[in-house]
């Protein structure tokens, strides 16, 4: 018997919501850490499933976030059960917290942790916290939150934070555990790893690789339109249509903030970068880190 999934919880997420989910043949589960290319991969998979650059509904409706507490679990299950197309389900839960079903394909996207962290910092300013609390049933705070530290100070603290993945999934230990667990499973037939920078460097090639792994055939003449629709520029231009009106973001366009790699490097001195690498080496195996960190400081266009 496989071990029961680990339960990961935060103020607005609960991986326990996966319990009892009825999988179907061909389901696609996208498992990423926050700000590691989740929406980009959802878009790529939706473009491949529908074989059209014009999706029939906002991406959040086509590919719902199952872990998040903003929609009642049974309502979300009913929506997914009613979808006639191949389903694409978003999750920020590591694979050891998900039911691994042989009928589904699990895609894990890796991004350099420092770039992910910088994006996470900026994303924090774009979330409507009051609305998120209303949707998840969280009480209003009794006092206003303290002012956020500058990005550099916050990033240094994030690198050295002493926590565990179950306490803070978006911490550096959480990021490294998510990827380490997926890395150990990469030889399994229904586990696919994608690298953010590889998607940036060769989007057409990576989309074709994913189509092959998903068993999807795309007509030759359709490819250019699909690839163009998955670029940072096109996704940012269509942010309102992609994100949809019911999101907890203050600005859909701001969600697609920068579109280049290397933001983490720009914030840190050489000594601080070395400290990050020492910390990372304590948290993940060397072969994973070689793959994760390659070409990280090259500036490329990508979806965020």
Helix axes 286-293, 270-283, angle to 10 degrees: 140
Backbone angles phi, psi at 166, to 5 degrees: -75, -25
Q: With beta carbons less than 8 A apart as the criterion, state whether 193 and 108 touch.
A: yes
Give the containing element (helix H, strand E) for 75. helix 73-82
Kindly name the residue from 85, 92, 152, 247 that is annotated as catalytic: 92
To the query of whether residue 92 is one of the catalytic residues in this protein, the response is: yes
**Residue listed under structure tokens 């992609």:** 242
For residue 192, list its beta bridge partners. 107
Dist. CA 270–CA 290, nearest whole Å: 18
Q: Where are the beta strands (DSSP E) in 92-134?
A: 105-110
Backbone angles phi, psi at 253, to 5 degrees: -65, -35
10 Å CB burial of residue 259 (0-12, 13-18, 19+) is middle
Q: With beta carbons less than 8 A apart as the criterion, state whether 184 and 177 touch.
A: no
Can you tell me whether residue 249 is helix, strand or coil? strand
Q: With beta carbons less than 8 A apart as the criterion, state whether 32 and 120 touch.
A: no
Dist. CA 190–CA 263, nearest whole Å: 32
Active-site residues, by number, are 92
């Amino acid at each position: 018997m496989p071990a029961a999934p680990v339960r990961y919880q935060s103020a607005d997420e609960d991986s326990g919501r996966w319990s009892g989910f009825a999988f179907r043949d061909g389901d696609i589960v996208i498992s990423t850490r926050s700000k590691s290319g989740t929406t980009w991969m959802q878009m790529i998979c939706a473009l491949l499933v529908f074989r059209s650059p014009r999706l029939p509904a906002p991406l959040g409706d086509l590919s719902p976030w199952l872990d998040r507490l903003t929609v009642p679990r049974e309502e979300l299950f009913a929506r997914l059960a009613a979808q006639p197309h191949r389903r694409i389900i978003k999750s920020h839960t590591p694979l050891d917290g998900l039911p691994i079903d042989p009928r589904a394909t699990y895609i894990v996207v890796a991004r350099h942790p420092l770039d992910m962290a910088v994006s996470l910092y900026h994303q924090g300013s774009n979330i409507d916290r009051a609305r998120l609390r209303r949707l998840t049933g969280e009480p209003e705070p009794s006092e206003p939150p303290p002012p956020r530290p500058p990005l550099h100070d916050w990033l240094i603290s994030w690198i050295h934070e002493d926590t565990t993945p179950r306490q803070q999934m978006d911490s550096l230990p959480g990021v490294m555990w998510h990827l380490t667990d997926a890395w150990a499973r990469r030889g399994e037939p229904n586990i696919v790893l994608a690298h953010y920078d590889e998607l940036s460097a060769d989007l057409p090639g990576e989309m074709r690789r994913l189509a092959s792994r998903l068993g999807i055939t795309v007509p030759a003449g359709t490819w250019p339109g699909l690839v163009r629709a998955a670029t940072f520029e096109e996704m940012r231009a269509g942010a309102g249509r992609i994100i949809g009106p019911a999101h907890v973001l203050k600005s859909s366009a701001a969600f697609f903030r920068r579109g280049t790699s290397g933001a983490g490097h720009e914030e840190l001195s050489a000594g601080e970068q070395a400290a990050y690498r020492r910390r990372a080496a304590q948290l993940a195996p060397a072969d994973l880190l070689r793959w994760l960190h390659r070409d990280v400081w090259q500036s490329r266009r990508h979806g965020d």
